[in-house]
Structure 1
Amino acid sequence: MFRYIYAVFVFLVGVFPSSAQISNTPHNLSKTGTGTIKAFSETEICVFCHIPHNEREGAPLWNRKMPTTIYTLYNSEFISRIGYPDPVQPSEIEGQPGIVSRQCLSCHDGTVAIGAVYIVRGTELGNSIIQMQNVNPDGTMPSNSVGYIGTDLSVHHPVAVEYNPNIQKNFSQGAKTSELKRPFPDPPIKLYTYGGKQYVECTSCHDPHKENKKFLRVDVGNLAKDFKQTCISCHDKPGWTGSAHDTQTVVYTDPDVIQKYGEGSPVSVADLGCGNCHAPHRAGGTPLLRKFEEMTCFKGASSSTSTAPCHGTGGAKDIQSLLPPNNLYGHPITEASMAGIHSPLDFLYGFGSTETDPASGKTIKFSDSKHAECVDCHNPHSVKPGTHAPQNQWYPSVASPDGNNVSNPLIGIYGIEPVWGGLWTQPSQFQTLASATKEYQICMKCHSRWALGDSPNGDCTSSFVSDQDGTVLTDQSCEFSPNNKSAHPVVMPLNQMTGNYEPKSLSQDQLKPPWNSNPGNQTMYCSDCHGNDSETVNPKGPHGSQAKYMLKGPNKNWPADENGRLYKVGDIFGTSSDGGTTDGLFCVNCHNLENAEVHRFKGSGMMGGGMGGGGMGSRFADFPCVYCHVAVPHGSPVSRLIGYSNFPQPYNYNGNSLKLDGFVKNNFLRKWDAYSNSFTCRCHRMGGGMGGGNYDPNPYP
């Protein structure tokens, strides 16, 4: 008899880990428990889940009544778009996906009384339950309890979901994988096999018997470090190791974060890792973000921006205060009308794509899915420490062919590469990139035909206008095409532009450092021109500005000064009739305008007395820059960013500023109508005579 009793005791110890492991945890639901929810009189610990005989559906030796709930399941447009299996409804049948999670939910979903067990010491309770303290009148877990999950599983990490690291979505260049450890998670994470496939259950991450905060299987330090290591045991994010969110030592000052995650000790961004942005339970946004969209970036795990070492007002790298509405111009990250639209793979579905995946998903098109989010430009899993530009200058030092490569803050973000069309023609095709290598590939996801659609004029204009200043938005994949006659070298060095005429670049004396080094063989960033008001301090980048078009640098005005006066040719030399100067003129940040021969000719008083009195040169001095140059100086179908009178807005400033109808390099006046105060210009290379040289009218398409 003694041997029989001993054998039963050994069996129970083998099946149910020692109750000493849970006696000091909230899972001790007996009257001796230390948690708030516990029995009034029941002294057994294991009975709330297990029974050695006559067990019901569930394992091992399950004793609890199972919920019959139909749950709202986790849903992610991201996993749907890469073809990853959706979670399934947790089963009530042993041997099927979700059975283990439904066992956990028998307490945590709030539909079954905590004391609803089948048998206690050989007695079936029937409709009776063990009476508990601090529960709802029907015995269920209150919704304000720390462990309450509820029936909406969409805001919790998915369970009854397959673990499959082999699924991926192929792009034109590269692929997006499910980003899971191969072939299995790191120990001690546990998977469950059903029908030959591996699945995630609640107990994949949690051991309900373990004396550990949150019952996490991973136990490497405080809760912050356990949280981070639990996530990266399964999730293999490219570029994570050494990324900013993996290494930054700046700490939270929020006392709740310190107490909860640091257990009283300081908590840094590196300590919390994934937990800075993601919450496995009760997420505030998708996918499992702590807070809705950008507020996750601003607050992290904190309750306020000022106590978080993040990107909100008062944070370590404050970006929130740079964005509209705090600034007049900028990316509208916080705009309410754009809330809830974004998903990471929107960029796959622009103009030229024929479907979305899933069919109900959003796209990058302005026509139905216009949005701007932090993660459109930054990949929080791979972003590296550092800034977009050196500390001591307002533009990057990029006077080299590699100057448009992505910088540390932009590493790992999706992009597109246009398949370039003809002269001043919108590309008809785009390649989708799993990881952009050039900054412009990120910008053009939105600032091109891929998002803006076909031009109503058959050129580089779009049918959309800026919400901030009413300017017509333009297709930058059209403007920067290498087949155009001129463009700033954002896409490629000017000497490699196939549509450009010699000389393709300006001379060294027409440019300021660092651009006067090896001109024609340089590239540049979009953000060399567009950025925050002041980039002498961090963070840098085109987040927001008081300057129109987010122009940056010592001079931020174009084509007019802060009083609305158009800059004139004579401003360069102090010869304009109203005494204007180039103070504030954006172009002089990089260009020595006075060293351009045509400017010297037009700004001087030479040829005085002729052509209607007052001198042709002096009359030229009062010509605004936009009489000759396009007001959107990205590119032009004419050399030297010249524009013609038949150009549409916004290239033709206010629709009537451009005065030329022909141009040839280099610049020399051919016809001037002094009486109408306008002119027609046909120009040719210097030295060839009025009718000689390499003549090409540079017609507008």
Structure 2
Amino acid sequence: MCPTHRNHPRLSPNSPLWRARARPVSEPRGSCLPAGRSARAEHPAGQRALSQHRAAKLPGASLAVPGTAVAIFTLVFLSTAAAQLHVSDTVHNLSAGGPGQVRAQTERQVCIFCHAPHNTSGLRPLWNRDVPSANYRIYRSSTLDARPGQPTGASKLCLSCHDGTIALGSVLSRAERIQMRTGDYLPSGPAHLGTDLSDDHPVSFFYTSGLALADGQLADPHSLPLEIRLGTDGELQCTACHDAHNDQYGDFLVLPNEFGELCTTCHQMSGWAGASHRLSQARVGGHSEGGWPYDTVAQNACRSCHRPHTAGGPDRLLLFGDEERNCLICHDGRVAKTDIQTELDKISGHDPRRYSARHDPAEPALVDNTHVECADCHNGHAAMAPERGGGYRRIGQTLLKTRGVSSGGAEVEEAQFEYEVCYRCHADTAVSVPGAVPRQSQTSNVRLLFQPTNESFHPVAAASVSSESPSLVPNVPRGSLLRCTDCHNSDSGQRGGGAGPDGPHGSIYDFLLEREYVTDDDTPESASAYALCYKCHERTSILSDESFSEHRMHIVEERTPCSACHAPHGVSNLVPGGSGDHTRLINFDTTIVRPDPQSGRLEFRDTGRLSGSCTLLCHGENHRDERYPE
């Protein structure tokens, strides 16, 4: 007999309601029953209460049924018991007969650790524990529009066990603490959240239509399914995602999270429908570091990168505190087809491991602190598998829905051209490039170098109008556009004829180039030494002097590199560059080409189609208004 009710004058063991509650079954089911008893109601009134409760999906709801106060209590009890139909089969059954490692030494009652009909805290639902008084460190993020405070409501009740500050066996209805086999407090592990909740999904904030509208990627709360239950005032608590009495989906989730079903019910990320991380069938089997619950990237979905509790760090609840590790754990050749880690290990590249500053999604599109992270160029919620085949594309599929900077210098929320992504760091921020060639007109702002108003520029932001390009290879017709990655790409990428991933991740060549581009003076000419230039400009045409009557003499006989005279990006009209003209990408390397000692001039003059004159000192020889062709 239930020790709480055995002396109750209105509830006899011979009554139908008592017999309904006391029917033996193989597993414990009842709220205040010892293990081995069931609260499944057979009484008609109890059955009606259970049916109404299930339809409403309101665990623990009181049902006003005509009759005595005892009958009302009994129906409330039966309704609550129905919601707890399977709790005894879960690790929330802390009784001695529970299935988990954490359980009592001798206590046989299942639900007493949270609930009791009398002598409780007065909080719903018949709460049998003290409420923790800890001051919690809560989740904060630059991208969080909600304003969570200290935990309240149901979340505070959950924390009475899960913050580890109150003994598991400390219940209000007992004078003495229930003794546990594994120690008084919740042992360390994923379920022990502690008082630092900065690495846990935020709770105790009002989830309103206004919040969803301000965020732009949250579902309106009125569209949420019934399984997602908000508080009475619309606040989001632990119970929005977890049902403490039902573990059918694992982790007591209210919906399955395979393929991100639970997460994407609220989080509706732009671009996710076609994203690789949603569709990839790459298997993660054999990987233990991520703690992934499912077999493929698509099945894990959001869980591939994020952990809602005890995350690796407070930044966006990622698996690991080091941002790049969240990407490289798959993109190291073991899961994803694209082995990016091997690329980053090369001598030249965008290696995030070399920088201490961190990426922040709320930072300006024009980066104001020098750093490199995968998320600076790639949106993990929208990036798609890289396209195959050649041809010009304004922006690659791996860069979709990434922020950028326009050719005019304005911030762009979604870059439409590849160069707009590059301009985040290599334009007005003017990130220095190691080993850059010192030039007559010097700037590291490539946005200015590609302006179509310049005297000359490589056609990245706009097509070139020059007709003086007789050396172009047949597959690069006049008027073509280039992408930054036509030059700055992996040396082993598929666009360059290799088998590795494309993109400016790493290269064995300086300046993160796809092919060799020697800038040292006294370099013997060869197809390999200037392979990057010869990718678009035919070597036979250059060495036959079709575009400049002394190309062969300079490159072959004098062993002068292409970079001694030509700048690879362009020459800005807005940057001081001395006297002379800067057509044909003429912008001298000042370590090789120096001013004429007599006049002090260092200049090139354009005198017409394929002709000009130079005044300078190079290789010990003065050129004073020396014209070509002679």
TM-score range, shorter chain: 0.7 to 0.9
**1:465-480 alignment, distance < 5 Å:** 465-466=432-433, 474-480=444-450
Structure 2 CA distance, aligned partners of 1:278 and 1:151? 20
1:311 pairs with 2:322 = no
SS at match of 1:679: strand
Structure 2 CA distance, aligned partners of 1:164 and 1:657? 69
1:541 pairs with 2:507 = no
Aligned length in residues: 539
* Residue aligning to 1:295: 325
Q: Return 5+ residue gaps in structure 1 as ranges.
A: 91-97, 170-175, 300-309, 351-363, 391-395, 420-429, 453-463, 496-503, 572-579, 605-616, 645-650, 691-701
User: What code does the residue aligned with 2:499 have?
Assistant: V
* Residue aligning to 2:30: none
User: What code does the residue aligned with 1:117 have?
Assistant: V
* Residue aligning to 1:190: 228
Going from structure 1 to structure 2, the CA distance change for 1:36 and 1:592 (only over 3 Å counts) comes to same
Structure 2 CA distance, aligned partners of 1:444 and 1:59? 56
* Residue aligning to 2:356: 338
Offset at 1:18?
A: 4.8
Query: For the Cα contact (< 8 Å) 2:449–2:572, is it kept in 1?
Result: yes
Structure 1 CA distance, aligned partners of 2:424 and 2:563? 32
Matching residue within 209, 219, 224 for 1:181: 219
Matching residue within 185, 203, 207 for 2:243: 207
Structure 1 CA distance, aligned partners of 2:403 and 2:533? 31
Structure 1 CA distance, aligned partners of 2:398 and 2:218? 24
* Residue aligning to 1:327: 346
SS at match of 2:167: coil
TM-score, normalising length from structure 2? Answer: 0.78
SS at match of 2:485: helix
* Residue aligning to 2:519: 559
**1:48-59 alignment, distance < 5 Å:** 48-59=113-124
Deviations 1:51-79 (A, max 9, x none): 22454253222111110010001011222
SS at match of 1:678: strand
**1:19-30 alignment, distance < 5 Å:** 19-30=84-95
**1:239-388 alignment, distance < 5 Å:** 239-254=271-286, 261-262=293-294, 267-285=295-313, 286-292=315-321, 293-299=323-329, 310-324=330-344, 326-335=345-354, 337-339=355-357, 341-348=358-365, 350=366, 364-365=367-368, 369-387=369-387
Offset at 1:231?
A: 0.7
Going from structure 1 to structure 2, the CA distance change for 1:628 and 1:257 (only over 3 Å counts) comes to closer
User: What code does the residue aligned with 1:414 have?
Assistant: R
Structure 1 CA distance, aligned partners of 2:215 and 2:238? 24
Going from structure 1 to structure 2, the CA distance change for 1:543 and 1:532 (only over 3 Å counts) comes to same
TM-score, normalising length from structure 1? Answer: 0.70
SS at match of 1:370: coil
Offset at 1:155?
A: 0.6
Query: For the Cα contact (< 8 Å) 2:518–2:529, is it kept in 1?
Result: no
* Residue aligning to 1:461: none
SS at match of 2:382: coil
Matching residue within 643, 654, 657 for 2:587: 643
Offset at 1:193?
A: 4.3
Q: State the identity as a percent.
A: 27
* Residue aligning to 1:65: 130
Deviations 1:644-687 (A, max 9, x none): 5xxxxxx5456749953422442325477999613245879x9x
Going from structure 1 to structure 2, the CA distance change for 1:130 and 1:660 (only over 3 Å counts) comes to same
Going from structure 1 to structure 2, the CA distance change for 1:315 and 1:268 (only over 3 Å counts) comes to closer
* Residue aligning to 1:515: 476
**1:297-696 alignment, distance < 5 Å:** 297-299=327-329, 310-324=330-344, 326-335=345-354, 337-339=355-357, 341-348=358-365, 350=366, 364-365=367-368, 369-387=369-387, 389-390=388-389, 396-398=390-392, 403=393, 405-419=394-408, 430-449=409-428, 451-452=429-430, 465-466=432-433, 474-495=444-465, 504-507=466-469, 509-516=470-477, 519-520=478-479, 522-535=480-493, 536-552=498-514, 555-560=515-520, 565-566=522-523, 571=525, 583-592=529-538, 594-595=540-541, 599=547, 601-603=549-551, 621-622=557-558, 624-626=560-562, 629-637=565-573, 638-643=582-587, 652-653=590-591, 656=594, 660-670=603-613, 677-681=621-625
State which drifts further: 267-276 or 587-596.
587-596
Query: For the Cα contact (< 8 Å) 1:319–1:543, is it kept in 2?
Result: no
Query: For the Cα contact (< 8 Å) 2:471–2:546, is it kept in 1?
Result: no
**Aligned CA-pair RMSD:** 3.2
**1:109-258 alignment, distance < 5 Å:** 109-120=163-174, 125=175, 128-135=176-183, 139-144=184-189, 146-164=190-208, 166=210, 177-184=215-222, 186-193=224-231, 198-212=234-248, 213-219=250-256, 224-225=258-259, 228-254=260-286
User: What code does the residue aligned with 1:515 have?
Assistant: V
Going from structure 1 to structure 2, the CA distance change for 1:512 and 1:283 (only over 3 Å counts) comes to same
Deviations 1:237-296 (A, max 9, x none): 01101210111111112265899724xxxx111111011000001111311000120101
Offset at 1:342?
A: 1.6
Deviations 1:466-502 (A, max 9, x none): 357798971111111122111111112123xxxxxxx
Structure 1 CA distance, aligned partners of 2:485 and 2:352? 18
Going from structure 1 to structure 2, the CA distance change for 1:447 and 1:60 (only over 3 Å counts) comes to same
Query: For the Cα contact (< 8 Å) 2:243–2:252, is it kept in 1?
Result: yes
Give the greater-gyration-radius structure (CA): 2
Deviations 1:578-602 (A, max 9, x none): xx66654421111125546565521
SS at match of 1:37: coil
